[in-house]
Structure 1
Amino acid sequence: MSLLNLKDKGINLQQNIPLSRYTFTKTGGCAEYLAFPKNLDELKLLVETANKDEQPITVIGNASNLIIRDGGIDGLVIILTDMKSIKVEGNEVTADAGAKIIDTSFTAAKAGLSGMEFAAGIPGSIGGAVFMNAGAYGGETQEVVKSVKVLTRDLEIKTYSNEDMEFSYRHSKVQETGDIVVEATFALKPGNKLEILDHMNYLNALRRYKQPLEYPSCGSVFKRPKGHFVGPMIIKAGLQGKQIGGAQDSMKHAGFIVNKGGATATDYLDLIHYIQKVIKEKYDIDLHTEVRIIGKE
């Protein structure tokens, strides 16, 4: 069975679709094949068929902290946003990989569960948050993950504990293994619902005040070097407002690069490389990207 035959099985599969429709930067080339599985069975069938067709597989969540190069992606791209169930049982919340971490954090809050407040404004998916160990405002995904269910590229279902995931700053084990995050369970603590929601609303107000949410962007671009803050360093180097093509280092938050209109992924990458070059020359500091960069030149 080829990938195209999966349409006959009711799977949402398309060809040569611009990924700029889905990325938060509004940039990126085409996916050769693009699929939106609705459940684990469809995901398994997609992976199995791509394996038989010897097609490479790229899995994407909410595409919020992601740059897809202008050459696009060969093979099968799977976007998991149609797998978005969220369940609360006792002090635990279990969410599908495609569920938004914002929705998951607010579901927890409305159930009077504390621990995910830091994620109230993170625009990524659960799968992406686990993959990247996403964090904000002093909290990280690893602090609340109890277990992660994955589908291996060999179609095996595995459940990893928090320790198994080998979390570190913006890193998890699945970045190396290629396992596809299917679901995550979060262990939380009972709290006062109104206080939890109030704190989350405060963090989101802070986010709106500090971050350039009025423009497309991929969020925070660079990892924080030990002992330094990226934004102030970029400002001190005179790089805030620097623009290449339609991509600009944000005037509101220098750690963000925004699409001012008509930007390409190449504009983003050229600006990233320019900032890295200047910071290295001025301060002998290597800036590494937090944003995930994939696809062909």
Structure 2
Amino acid sequence: MDISGLIELCDKLGCRVTPECSLSEYITFKFGGPCRALISINSAESAKEILKYIKDNGIKYGVLGRGSNILASDEGFDGVILLFGGDFAEIEVNGDLMTCQSGALLAAACVRAQQLGLTGMENLFGIPGTIGGALYMNAGAYGSEMKDIVVSAEYIDDDFNIRSINAEDMDLSYRHSVFSGKNNIITSVTIRLKEGDPDEIKEAMNECMHKRSSKQPLEYPSAGSTFKRPEGSYASLLIEQCGLKGLTCGGAMVSEKHSGFVINKGFATCADVLELCDKVQKIVKEKTGYQLELEPEILK
């Protein structure tokens, strides 16, 4: 796969390119082999041109934000990765509306809102992802979800047009949006917040982080919650009831602190995590009848 022309295009567009980049540096699980090149997107127009070139030339590609809900293969990714990160992370505020480029960290948006006395994002503080990724999967925590605050978004469609979509057309449900499993790429997200007291908002954010740090194994690399919530129960409850806390495969372990998390003890591979998840799924199915579904997506 010749990507020299793509690299030339990226240089022309001012997008940084890192050849043979290890994905372990960009995945919160901290494992994964190399990709052919990692391209840091710097604008929606650049993304549009790069995507058109990629598709016209049959180049395999993947998309990453913070890498917080991704499993990356140990063998790597035989294609290029488009990174929607710090080079595409501007946040603009107009009254109670906040518009974020898709690479903006969700935590950064929460902090900006707090500084401006805008409430509505407190329970999302601490989710380790970008706002584009958060909308893609309708991220949520402690009773709040992106669908509660999103107004609209812009995205690149299959014909490389930048289009707008309103919240009511996004098909937002538990860990799902209209973008899930599709090639359309979110470029910006607009949310609506409410006026509030900055000190009260900060206190709520601190309380949220205290809950996370006291109940979740944040000291270890992971992809956050490993399994989706099955209808009628909770993945962590089922896993704990089956006595699977502390179960290991290689360097991967079901957290003893929160059974809904599979963690990297420091030397886990993607294969370790997938083997462990498969064991958990089989045992939970045999003992409870529930079929757990992986929440992270596999980059392949």
- TM superposition score normalised by structure 2: 0.95
CA–CA separation in structure 2 for the residues paired with 1:115 and 1:292:
27
Could you say what secondary structure the match of 1:129 adopts?
helix
Could you say what secondary structure the match of 1:206 adopts?
helix
Which position in structure 1 is the counterpart of 2:110?
105
1:89 is aligned to 2:68: no
CA–CA separation in structure 2 for the residues paired with 1:127 and 1:145:
11
Q: Where do residues 245-260 of structure 1 align in structure 2 (5 Å cutoff)?
A: 245-260=250-265
Which position in structure 1 is the counterpart of 2:168?
163
Instruction: State the aligned residue count.
Output: 295
1:56-91: CA deviations, max 9, x gaps?
Answer: 331111001111122322322101102100111101
Could you say what secondary structure the match of 2:237 adopts?
helix
Q: Where do residues 170-249 of structure 1 align in structure 2 (5 Å cutoff)?
A: 170-249=175-254
The question of whether the paired residues in 2 share the 8 Å contact of 1:91 and 1:190 is answered with: yes
Q: Where do residues 14-33 of structure 1 align in structure 2 (5 Å cutoff)?
A: 14-33=18-37
1:37-72: CA deviations, max 9, x gaps?
Answer: 122232122112212211133111100111112232
Q: Where do residues 282-297 of structure 1 align in structure 2 (5 Å cutoff)?
A: 282-295=287-300
Any stretches of 5+ residues in structure 2 without a counterpart? Answer: none
Which position in structure 1 is the counterpart of 2:5?
2
- TM superposition score normalised by structure 1: 0.96
Q: Where do residues 97-136 of structure 1 align in structure 2 (5 Å cutoff)?
A: 97-136=102-141
1:64 is aligned to 2:64: no
TM-superposed deviation, 1:7:
4.7
Find 2:278's aligned residue among 268, 273, 279. Answer: 273
The question of whether the paired residues in 2 share the 8 Å contact of 1:47 and 1:153 is answered with: no
Could you say what secondary structure the match of 1:77 adopts?
strand
TM-superposed deviation, 1:152:
1.7
CA–CA separation in structure 1 for the residues paired with 2:158 and 2:107:
28
CA–CA separation in structure 2 for the residues paired with 1:94 and 1:169:
23
Could you say what secondary structure the match of 1:184 adopts?
strand
1:211-253: CA deviations, max 9, x gaps?
Answer: 1111111100011112212212211111100010100111111
1:77 is aligned to 2:81: yes
Could you say what secondary structure the match of 1:177 adopts?
coil
Could you say what secondary structure the match of 1:128 adopts?
helix
1:90-129: CA deviations, max 9, x gaps?
Answer: 0111111000001101111211111111111101001100
The question of whether the paired residues in 1 share the 8 Å contact of 2:62 and 2:299 is answered with: no
Any stretches of 5+ residues in structure 1 without a counterpart? Answer: none
Find 2:46's aligned residue among 37, 42, 45. Answer: 42
1:178-221: CA deviations, max 9, x gaps?
Answer: 11100000011111221111111101011111111111111000
Could you say what secondary structure the match of 2:88 adopts?
coil
Find 2:142's aligned residue among 137, 144, 165. Answer: 137
Which position in structure 2 is the counterpart of 1:264?
269
Could you say what secondary structure the match of 2:169 adopts?
coil
CA–CA separation in structure 2 for the residues paired with 1:73 and 1:160:
31
CA–CA separation in structure 1 for the residues paired with 2:194 and 2:106:
17
Which position in structure 2 is the counterpart of 1:54?
58
TM-superposed deviation, 1:22:
0.8
Which is further off, 248-257 or 230-239?
230-239
CA–CA separation in structure 2 for the residues paired with 1:26 and 1:98:
19
Which is further off, 273-282 or 227-236?
227-236
Residue type of the alignment partner of 1:50: I
CA–CA separation in structure 1 for the residues paired with 2:228 and 2:188:
26
